Chain A
Amino acid sequence: MSSDSRRTRKAKSSLSKRLLFYTLALSSSILYAIFVVLDGYISHEILPDGYVFATISWWLGLAIFTIIVIILALPLRTLTTSSEVREKVKSRAPLGTYLDPNFRGIRIPPWEVLKFVLLGGFFMGVSTIIYFQMIDKFDAATFVPLMSFVIVYLLIGDFLTEKDGPTLIELQAIIMITLGVFISSASRSEFDLESLAITLIFLNGTSAGITISHKKATQWKDPVTRRPLDSLAIRYYSMLVATIITTLMFLLVINEERVEMLKTQFIASIFPVGLSMILATISYIFFIRALEMGKMSIVNSLTSFSVIASIPIAFIANWIFPNEFPIDMGGSLGIVLKSVGAILVLTGMISLALSDAKILALVKVSEDGLKEIDKIAAMKGVARVSVLAGKYDILITIRTRSMGKGYRNTIRKISALPNVTSLKTMAILKEWSS
């Protein structure tokens, strides 16, 4: 490859950070929509028993992901320091860095982060059990739309973990997206009080538990490398716990009929279930990476785009395999409601994308000034505080929904600190992330 073509490829591979965030969240939702459509076929045609389906899914998923992670850990990707020193400094990185730049092979994370990963896996397992018990008892259409209200739980979680609650614009966008998803998916539903209570308390509770635990896991940084735990490790250890919990559940409800289905349908289910779990895993890896970059409520509302994405995917599947993937849009009213829901979701997403600002502040402090760093780090909107050697003492990264809010909530307070002797602010016009 010539130097010029290599340069072009590299330049094109750089994504702006904002674009990367939205690409990850939306890719996750599209993959999610594909595997949900596929799961519909599997549960209808191959594994009608939810417990058998869940057990085979987790076991196959874990086995396939183990093989994939081993392959991804192979050091086949060449990393270089720069084009000029390429020959001097050359190192090998695992293939998995294409999926997540923080991936450095299979390793057991330290307990301080592993506990959050395992907790997320525990919630995943419990959520699977509740989901399949509900599928057994109720029509999915009576409770699936209500699952979109998990965003309300995450909004509360954001208030508690982000030290900067959602702004009015974020709230408006989240409400639009949630209502859009609700209208789209509830267009054929009748509600049942019991399923409403179980969904709002247990199903959404465990779903929020997964997101909050994994958000906590993404916030951890390796004390030496300052890298977060990679999304593949978070997914892998969570799957391990979820598989154990689902297996225990299966052993509790095991009977002859289920054992027979497991025996007769296992071979037929390997390809579709395996494919579904690969898609689910990549979808979740993207979800975790987006979670690392943004607020839980916003990532969740963006990934709920899957409800909209599932509509064209269902049509494509029906067009290719009309018998295996039947479509029921709920008549003309259903189509209207789905369209209204889709418009609400898209409008909410666009308003979120257009209302995001970042400010950098270069600060000089007096001799005792560095003692105030904890105060600065705790301020609303402060995303990162870097203590520097050289001309400036501190670089502060501020995330805000508007410049005015950034000034009111953060800049004014920093400049009022007695030990701050100089403050220079710079608005970020555009940002790229490797």
Chain B
Amino acid sequence: MVAAYILIDVKKGFTERVVEALSMVDNIQLLSVVTGEFDIIIRVVTDELEDLYQLMIDSIDPIEGVNDTITSVVEKEFK
């Protein structure tokens, strides 16, 4: 099980469309529209790193309006 956060920079005026497109991706656990350096932060969970790569290539990068992404895999979590 691999959890990762993807920080997304969205082209001006495209936030609503990107949110709508992301809401169709099943592996997204949390989707947050935020203020600050990034516009959207999502938390994804996949079985393996390969699936995370596939998710990025197939489902996130092609979304119209996504300018840039930073993917950070979670190494450990405290709650």
Asked if A395 and B72 make an inter-chain contact with CB atoms under 8 angstroms apart, the answer reads yes
Question: Nearest Cβ in chain A — how far from B69, in angstroms?
Answer: 11
B51-79 vs A, Cβ < 8 Å mask (1 yes, 0 no): 10011001100100000001111111111
- The verdict on A388 contacting B73 (CB below 8 Å), with A374-B78, A427-B36 known, is yes
With contacts A225-B1, A226-B1 known, is A433 near B29, CB below 8 A?
yes
Give the contacting residue for A221; candidates B28, B38, B74, B79; CB below 8 A.
B79
Number of residues in B with C-beta < 8 Å to the partner?
41
- In the complex, whether A373 has a CB less than 8 A from a CB of chain B is yes
A395 in contact with B5 (CB, 8 Å): yes
Contact A82/B78 with A89-B51, A386-B5, A388-B72 known, Cβ cut-off 8 Å: no
Of the candidate stretches A10-18, A62-70, A347-355, the one touching chain B is A10-18
Given contacts A11-B20, A85-B54, contact A360 B77 (CB under 8 A): no
Contacts of B26 in A (CB 8 A): 79-82, 434
Asked if B41 is at the interface of the complex by the 8 Å CB criterion, the answer is yes
Give the interface size bracket for A toward B. Answer: 35 or more
Q: Tell me the bound Cα distance from A70 to B34 in angstroms.
A: 41
Asked if A429 and B33 make an inter-chain contact with CB atoms under 8 angstroms apart, the answer reads yes
Decide if B33 touches A391 in the complex (CB within 8 Å): no
Q: Does A377 contact B (CB under 8 A)?
A: yes
Q: Report B23 CB to chain A, min CB distance, Å.
A: 4
Map CB proximity to B onto A186-221 as digits: 1 under 8 Å, 0 otherwise: 000000000000000000000000000000000101
**A390 at interface, CB cutoff 8 A:** yes
Contacts A85-B58, A434-B26 given: A426-B35 contact, CB under 8 Å? Answer: yes
Q: Give the CA-CA distance A222 to B7 in the complex, in Å.
A: 26
Complex CA–CA separation, A7 to B22 (angstroms): 11
Produce 1/0 per residue, A55-80, CB < 8 A to B.
00000000000000000000000011
Contacts of A84 in B (CB 8 A): 58-59, 62
Residue of A nearest to B19 (CB): A432
Q: Establish whether residues A82 and B27, one from each chain, have CB atoms under 8 Å apart when the complex forms.
A: yes
Complex-state Cα separation, A424 to B31, whole angstroms: 18
With contacts A377-B78, A386-B77 taken as known, whether A427 is within 8 angstroms of B35 at the C-beta atoms is yes
Q: Please judge, given known A-B contacts A226-B3, A226-B77, whether A17 and B30 are in contact too, CB under 8 Å.
A: yes
Task: Judge whether B5 and A388 touch: CB under 8 Å.
Answer: yes
Is A425 part of the binding interface, using a Cβ–Cβ cutoff of 8 Å?
yes
If A7-B24, A221-B79, A226-B1 touch, whether A389 touches B73 (CB-CB below 8 Å) is yes
Minimum CB–CB distance for A356 against chain B, Å: 14
Q: Name the CB-closest residue of B to A85.
A: B58
Which residue of chain B has the shortest Cβ distance to A91 in the bound complex? B47
Contacts of B59 in A (CB 8 A): 81-85
Q: Closest Cβ of chain B: how far from A429's Cβ, in Å? A: 5
Q: Are A428 and B77 neighbours in the complex by a CB distance under 8 Å? A: no
CA distance A224 to B1 in the complex (A): 7
Q: A83 touching B27 by the CB < 8 A rule?
A: no
Residues of the A chain whose Cβ atoms lie less than 8 Å from the Cβ of B31:
14, 431-433
User: Are the C-beta atoms of B54 and A81 separated by less than 8 Å?
Assistant: yes
Q: Which residue of A lies closest to B1 (CB)?
A: A225
CB-CB < 8 A to B5: which residues of A?
A: 386, 388, 395
Q: Report yes or no: A83 in contact with B32, Cβ–Cβ below 8 A.
A: no
- Please, which residues of chain B bring their CB within 8 A of the CB of A79? 26
Q: Does A385 lie at the interface of the complex (its beta carbon under 8 Å from any beta carbon of B)?
A: yes
The 6 closest A-B CB pairs, nearest first, are A426-B36, A82-B59, A388-B72, A84-B58, A426-B34, A377-B78
Seed contacts A395-B72, A427-B34; 12 additional CB < 8 Å A-B pairs: A11-B20, A14-B23, A81-B46, A81-B51, A82-B24, A226-B1, A362-B7, A383-B79, A384-B78, A385-B79, A387-B75, A430-B33
Q: Which residues of A contact B (CB under 8 A)?
A: 7, 10-11, 14, 17, 79-85, 88-89, 219, 221, 224-226, 358, 360, 362, 373-374, 376-377, 383-392, 395, 424-434
22 contacts between A and B (CB under 8 A): A10-B23, A14-B31, A81-B27, A81-B55, A84-B58, A84-B62, A219-B79, A377-B79, A384-B77, A384-B79, A385-B79, A386-B5, A386-B76, A387-B74, A387-B77, A388-B5, A388-B72, A391-B72, A428-B34, A431-B33, A432-B19, A434-B29
